[in-house]
């Protein structure tokens, strides 16, 4: 895989502190490159070339002036079976920031170069140790703040997503090759690709690519935090519910209608899933310009949320009121709505057929809050626990969307008897977009952008 990016990193031995900044019990400095063992030995009291692969040596660290810096361990991992695919050393030293900087200074004086953001993982990709989806999963794994994001990143790191993309490409390559072959025999007017079989393949590919692309909304929500909008008329207990869900006085609660004029957002983790709860302005007709803007934002949040909690007052609202409010929200047809009857400690709401889950509660008393949490987690754990492939990366979603468009163009072209050379162009485009996901085809500027978001030392 020759490229200017590959050429730029070849030959250099890099080093970086791989543990978090600041003082600690220990710190790890990673060294990788063709001359890692030689240059590492210049700062360590033992010859690392003599250390058995995947073994640890104890020794002292010194600088070029032979000043003692520290004593600690050196873990030797020879390529190509290291993380980067190159000879790699991990020095375990005491976690003093001064010692860390002095050992780094000694390595640079010995001939190493300070690694850039994500350069170790970038080398792992360029040396074939990881594909691009796995490399991106490393960054997601480091950034994971809750069990849901951790699980998605770990699944991707294990290569399941890349395996599916490669299977899609392999299925398409065979027929694309037959189309290309037809071009070589264009004067003979022969068809090597069976059109019926090709159409059946395209239907299958479109379905598989479409399912992956359509999973992005759920996958991104699971990764970043599932947005849940709390909507309803004024004084229905929306702010009280937000505080109860967060177990904190996050929003101002008042009997005065219209207290909440802007959205109030906060997040919490429930059973390993991250939720972003959004309290919104009460929905009603108003001449107040500021309140009207708050209501507009409330409607926007409801339209874009993964789940909408429609708050109703068991003491004052009727099923007809609920239906009218749902209609006013004008939500997408597939929206996940939960009807929440609040203040059920004061009255019993009328029974009605909703077509949506219903929770009876008293937000002020804390009754029904656990039931609502169980309902929310059950909804999203069903999507995630089955370990279905879920797309969480915007770059992957865009490439899948482009691939779906190209595959649709191939199918339409075959149905319209468009010449094979034009159909082959669309087939190549589909292959290109699928290859972009795993890095089978890539541009250096895309790789530079991806790895620039990694931390230094990884």
* CATH code of the domain covering residue 62: 3.30.1360.120
Query: Do 353 and 244 share a domain, yes or no?
Result: yes
Query: Do 352 and 263 share a domain, yes or no?
Result: yes
Arithmetic mean of pLDDT, 398-423? 89
- Candidate from 62-76, 84-98, 284-298 with smallest mean pLDDT: 284-298
Query: Do 417 and 301 share a domain, yes or no?
Result: no
Q: How many domains does the chain have?
A: 3
Domain membership of residue 396 (yes or no) is: yes
- Convert 308-342 to b/e letters by CB count within 10 Å (16 or more is b): bbbbbbbeebeeeebeebbeebebeeebbbbbbbb
Beta bridge partners of 114: 15
Asked if pLDDT for residue 22 goes beyond 50, the answer is yes
Query: Do 112 and 210 share a domain, yes or no?
Result: no
| Sign of the C-alpha dihedral computed for residues 327, 331, 335 and 337 taken in this order | negative
Domain membership of residue 452 (yes or no) is: no
Domain membership of residue 450 (yes or no) is: no
Residue 101: exposure state from Cβ atoms within 10 A (0-12, 13-18, ≥19)? exposed
Task: Choose one of 340, 362, 385: the last residue of a domain.
Answer: 385
CB atoms within 10 A of CB 89: 27
Condensed to tens digits (0 to 9), the pLDDT of residues 320-337 reads 877 888 887 778 777 889
Which residue did the predictor score with more confidence, 107 or 333? 107
Helix (H) or strand (E) holding 231: strand 226-231
Please report, rounded to a whole number, the percentage of residues in the chain having pLDDT higher than 70. 85
Arithmetic mean of pLDDT, 403-417? 91
Residue 331 to residues 120, 286, 292, 298, 352, Cα–Cα distance (Å): 46, 21, 19, 12, 20
Task: Choose one of 347, 367, 385: the last residue of a domain.
Answer: 385
Residue 97 to residues 42, 43, 243, Cα–Cα distance (Å): 21, 17, 41
Query: Do 98 and 146 share a domain, yes or no?
Result: no
Domain membership of residue 220 (yes or no) is: no
Query: Do 10 and 91 share a domain, yes or no?
Result: yes
pLDDT at position 185 is 56
Task: Choose one of 355, 385, 415: the last residue of a domain.
Answer: 385
Domain membership of residue 446 (yes or no) is: no
Domain membership of residue 445 (yes or no) is: no
Domain membership of residue 225 (yes or no) is: no
pLDDT at position 292 is 66
Query: Do 357 and 237 share a domain, yes or no?
Result: yes
Query: Do 255 and 376 share a domain, yes or no?
Result: yes
Alpha helices per DSSP H over 24-159? 36-41, 97-110, 119-126, 132-143, 147-157
pLDDT interval class at 225 (50, 70, 90): confident
Contact 296, 288 (CB under 8 A): no
Nearest-angstrom CA–CA distance, 86 and 353: 64
* CATH code of the domain covering residue 238: 3.40.50.300
- Candidate from 12-26, 119-133, 258-272, 389-403 with smallest mean pLDDT: 258-272
Query: Do 277 and 153 share a domain, yes or no?
Result: no
Per-residue tokens: 163: 């395996």
- Candidate from 28-37, 165-174, 295-304, 365-374 with smallest mean pLDDT: 295-304
Task: Provide the residue range defining the domain that includes 325.
Answer: 230-385
Condensed to tens digits (0 to 9), the pLDDT of residues 335-391 reads 889 999 988 988 888 777 777 899 999 988 889 899 999 999 988 875 444 446 889
Query: Do 187 and 91 share a domain, yes or no?
Result: no
Domain membership of residue 377 (yes or no) is: yes
Contact 31, 59 (CB under 8 A): no
Nearest-angstrom CA–CA distance, 199 and 212: 20
Which residue did the predictor score with more confidence, 41 or 334? 41
pLDDT at position 303 is 81
Please report, rounded to a whole number, the percentage of residues in the chain having pLDDT higher than 90. 37
* CATH code of the domain covering residue 169: 1.20.120.430
Query: Do 238 and 380 share a domain, yes or no?
Result: yes
Of 119, 106, 138, nearest in space to 14 by CA: 119
Q: What share of the chain is helix, strand, coil (3-state, %, to 5)?
A: 50, 20, 35
Query: Do 150 and 289 share a domain, yes or no?
Result: no
Per-residue tokens: 9: 């990193």
Nearest-angstrom CA–CA distance, 410 and 404: 10
Q: Where are the beta strands (DSSP E) in 297-356?
A: 307-313, 336-342
Q: Give the mean pLDDT of the chain.
A: 84
Maximum Cα–Cα distance across the chain: 85
């Amino acid at each position: 895989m020759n490229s200017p990016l590959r050429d730029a990193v070849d030959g250099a031995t890099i080093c970086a502190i791989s543990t978090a900044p600041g003082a600690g019990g220990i710190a790890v400095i990673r060294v990788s490159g063709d001359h890692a063992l030689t240059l590492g030995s210049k700062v360590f009291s033992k010859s690392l070339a003599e250390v058995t692969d995947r073994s640890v040596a104890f020794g002292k660290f010194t600088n070029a002036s032979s000043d003692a810096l520290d004593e600690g361990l050196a873990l030797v991992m020879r390529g190509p079976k290291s993380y980067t695919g190159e000879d790699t050393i991990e020095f375990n030293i005491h976690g003093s920031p001064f010692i860390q900087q002095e050992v780094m200074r000694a390595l640079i004086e010995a001939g190493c170069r300070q690694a850039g953001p994500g350069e170790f993982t970038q080398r792992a990709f360029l040396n074939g140790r990881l594909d691009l989806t796995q490399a991106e999963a490393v960054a997601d794994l480091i950034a994971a703040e809750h069990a849901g994001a951790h699980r998605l990143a770990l699944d991707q790191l294990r290569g399941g997503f890349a395996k599916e993309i490669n299977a899609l490409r392999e299925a398409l390559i065979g027929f694309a090759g037959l189309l290309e072959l037809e071009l070589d025999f264009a004067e003979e007017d022969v068809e090597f690709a069976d059109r019926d079989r090709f159409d059946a393949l395209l239907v299958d590919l479109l379905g598989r690519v479409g399912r992956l692309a359509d999973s992005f909304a759920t996958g991104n929500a699971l990764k970043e935090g599932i947005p849940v909008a709390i909507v309803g008329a004024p004084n229905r207990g929306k702010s009280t519910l937000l505080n109860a869900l967060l177990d904190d006085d996050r929003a101002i609660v008042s009997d005065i209608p219209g207290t909440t004029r802007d959205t109030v957002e906060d997040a919490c983790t429930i059973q390993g899933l991250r939720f972003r709860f959004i309290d919104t302005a009460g929905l009603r007709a108003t001449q107040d310009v500021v309140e009207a803007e708050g209501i507009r934002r409330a409607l926007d949040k409801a339209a874009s949320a993964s789940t909408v909690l429609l708050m109703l007052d068991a003491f004052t609202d009727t099923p007809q009121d609920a239906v009218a409010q749902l209609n006013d929200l004008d939500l997408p047809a597939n929206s996940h709505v939960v009807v929440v009857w609040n203040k059920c400690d004061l009255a019993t709401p009328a029974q009605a057929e909703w077509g949506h889950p219903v929770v009876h509660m008293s937000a002020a008393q804390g009754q029904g809050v656990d039931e609502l949490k169980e309902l929310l987690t059950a909804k999203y754990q069903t999507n995630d626990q089955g370990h279905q492939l879920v797309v969480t990366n915007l770059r992957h979603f865009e490439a899948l969307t482009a691939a779906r468009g190209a595959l649709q163009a191939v199918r339409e072209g075959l149905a319209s008897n468009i010449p094979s050379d034009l159909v082959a162009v669309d087939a190549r485009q589909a292959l290109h977009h699928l290859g972009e996901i795993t890095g089978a085809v890539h541009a250096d500027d895309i790789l530079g952008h991806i790895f620039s978001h990694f931390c230094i030392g990884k």
